[in-house]
Amino acid sequence: MAVVLAKATGDLPTIPAGQLLRWLAPNSPVWLGDLGFEASPDAMITNRFQTEPEDAQRGATLYQAYCSQCHGADGAGGGAIGLSLVEFVATSTDWQFLSTVKWGRPGTAMAAQPLEDIQIWDVHAFLKRESRAWAAAVAEPVAGIKVSAPLERLLNPERYPEDWLQYSGSLEAHRHSALGQITKANVGSMRVAWVSQLRQATKPLSATPIVSNGVMFVSEAPDGVTALDASSGKVLWEYRRPVDPSKLPLCCGAFNRGVAILDDSIFVATLDSSVVALDAATGTKRWESQVADPADGYSMTGAPLVVEGHVIVGVAGGEFGMRGLLAALSPKDGKLLWQFDVVPGPGKPGNDTWAGDSWKTGGGPTWTTGAYDRALDLVLWTTGNPWPPLDATVRRGDNLYSNSIVALERTTGKLKWHYQFTPEDTHDWDATQQPVLTDVSWQGETVPVVIMANRNAFYYVIDRRNGKFLFAKPFVKQTWSKGFDNNGRPIRDPASLPSKQGTLVWPWMHGGTNWWPPSYDAARKLHFVPTVDAATQYFTVNMDYEPATMTMGGTTRLAENQPSIMAVKAIDPGTGTVKWTTRLDQGDFHAYARIAGLVSTDAGLVFAGYERQFFVLDSDTGSILWRFNPGGQTNAGAIVYAADGVQYFAALAGSTLFAFSLPQPLQGAEAAR
């Protein structure tokens, strides 16, 4: 219905009405269902069906019969027309290929071809295979641009505010920029500087771009990385490593949250649980290292963290009965340096917190990105839910180290300390939120701490030297805990446990916040956090559990007739006090992937996104200073960077990357007009 409505309102002009109705039929080889999410054929119509080698082989036969005379025997050009179809496929969307072959191009020699839709996809599969070889053959360094991010730059980002070199902007995960060209006084004049349409995806892209030396790198789910000129959005190179999300254990969609950089290498974690290193100047692969086996329930969706001599990655799959882990790889060759198992095996501290053999399928994913304390040489990472998420009867105990923050020695991966936010979780409250490192004044002493707004509705401040609990305070409504004991252990209210009739609990299952990255302004001592104030009904259900199969252990329903509010809040980490709240929406929230990550600046601005809106807030008051509708859903971390002396705010909406700046003086011929 949503697709028909989009056509009726003029949002799908490139698809004839009759053809659209035929493609809406069951078993159509052209899937239109995602157009109801975003009315963009280029973004949402993909070759979902032809993924096997035999598909490409059928396509090769069809290509020779219908295409080779004009485009050459190998698709690289040289026939009657000479146009390289492998280059066209490598640089165009699947929809552009399908529509060109189906209807031709008026005014050119390209006529409509007498092929069925499924045959067009077969030819596309063949050319896609050939295009990967073509891309590798023509790869060359970007002319005039040297891409390099030595460790010194990563360790001292404050000296290089023009770059954005880590997923969270800095190893302390502040997501804050010292750039001040865009201010409260002029942000109202900010406009689109450039737009780049990236690869189509079935859900909004969720990556935070990396910027180094005027080049931007962004991952694209499910299978790629693209490099762009950070001043213009021009694509410099593309890397593709095809995977089939339908054959992977994915609870929530094919996501990738970003890449990492060190020296002249780009690192990306893949959906099928490998890490790939790319040449930053060409996009050619340098090495690939498998971290875990998807057959065991593993996937990877997070951005790597680069610290001294290590590329550290986590895994997803907490709903599939895997055992969470963190892996540190050598940036030179991908060799495994150490592995930390979130769920400890027999004889290891914490194994006795799992009843029976439940540790074997304990969950504890690590699917977001951690932080690094250089002074203490500690990697701090948060972990997710135990398995099954909603049923503790089969895994009695605290279930260490699920729903925790762990501090690991960088050189060895050995556990230095931990703090568990939600022992024996029965509400699926992953603790996979962004840990942020700062200092607070506590009992007359300046204490180095890790601060975190947790999915379980509490705001935590923890001494990062030893994991000592300092305090926690709710930042949204909660009904599951009666407080904390002297060791910082939550005192659970038994009335909050799931039940057959349904138990109403705040916060809702997706939490008071989720993976959406917060921002921290150290000068203002304000922690800016995307939040949700809502409730869920939790139901117990009798079911069987099979590892590597998605199982929740219960069911949930968003509480009816209860207030639900999405907002950005500014929190004082010294006290946990909410200083201001900016409401984004209020009502019935059945989808939670609607908030973008935040970034703040010295100029007193917080850049954000929600639904189909980008906006900028006043850091001191929360008032909205600027809005823009990008036309696509926002669900990614925003960044601030500079190129050629111009400050930009950049973020993804749907499958499109937007960069904004203040109006710039016209140059050259444009100025002469």
- Please provide the distance, in angstroms rounded to a whole number, between the alpha carbons at the two ends of the chain: 48
Rounded Cα distance between 640 and 436, Å, is 18
**pLDDT for 564:** 87
DSSP letters, 157-215, are GGG-TT-B-STTSSTT---EE---SS-TTTGGG-EEEEEEE----SS---PBPEEETTE
What value does the CA radius of gyration of the chain take, rounded to a whole number of Å?
25
**pTM, 2 dp:** 0.80
Which whole-number Å values give the CA distances from 170 to 154, 178, 413, 504, 571, in the listed order?
A: 7, 12, 21, 39, 20
Using the 8-state DSSP alphabet, how is residue 595 labeled?
Answer: B
Expressed in percent and rounded to 5, the helix, strand and coil fractions of the chain are: 15, 35, 50
- Kindly report the CA angle at 518 between 512 and 523, in degrees rounded to 5? 125
Rounded Cα distance between 370 and 513, Å, is 17
Residue 654 neighbours by CB under 8 Å, 6+ apart: 38, 40, 43, 201, 204, 205, 630, 631, 632, 633
Q: At what angle do helices 117-138 and 94-103 cross, to 10 degrees?
A: 130
Assigned CATH topology for domain 151-672:
Methanol Dehydrogenase; Chain A (2.140.10)
Rounded Cα distance between 498 and 126, Å, is 51
What type of residue sits at position 527?
H
> Reduced to 3 states, what is the DSSP secondary structure of residue 670?
helix
Place of tokens 């690869």: 199
DSSP letters, 447-468, are EEEEEEE-TTSEEEEEETTT--
Q: What is the mean pLDDT of each run of 10 residues along the chain (673 residues)?
A: 68 79 83 67 72 81 87 76 76 81 81 89 86 61 69 90 96 96 96 87 84 95 91 92 83 88 96 94 94 93 95 94 96 96 96 96 96 97 96 96 98 98 96 97 96 98 98 98 96 96 94 95 97 94 83 87 90 98 78 80 96 94 95 90 96 92 68 44
Question: Can you say how many angstroms the Cα of residue 207 is from the centroid of all Cα atoms in its chain?
Answer: 4
Give long-range contacts, CB 8 A cutoff, 24+ apart: 611-616: 611/584, 611/585, 612/653, 614/638, 614/649, 614/651, 614/653, 614/658, 614/660, 616/187, 616/190, 616/649
Residue 181 structure tokens: 């060209």
Label each residue of 289-321 as H, E or C.
EECCCHHHCCECCCCCEEECCEEEEECECCCCC
Identify the H or E element spanning 588: none
Is residue 428 annotated as part of the catalytic site, yes or no?
Answer: yes
Rounded Cα distance between 126 and 136, Å, is 16
What type of residue sits at position 503?
T
**pLDDT for 423:** 97
Rounded Cα distance between 511 and 430, Å, is 9
Q: At what angle do helices 53-66 and 117-138 cross, to 10 degrees?
A: 100
Active-site residue (options: 94, 122, 163, 428)? 428
Rounded Cα distance between 264 and 541, Å, is 52
Q: Rounded to the nearest 5°, which phi and psi values hold at 464?
A: -80, 0
Question: Which residues are bridge partners to 649 per DSSP?
Answer: 640, 660
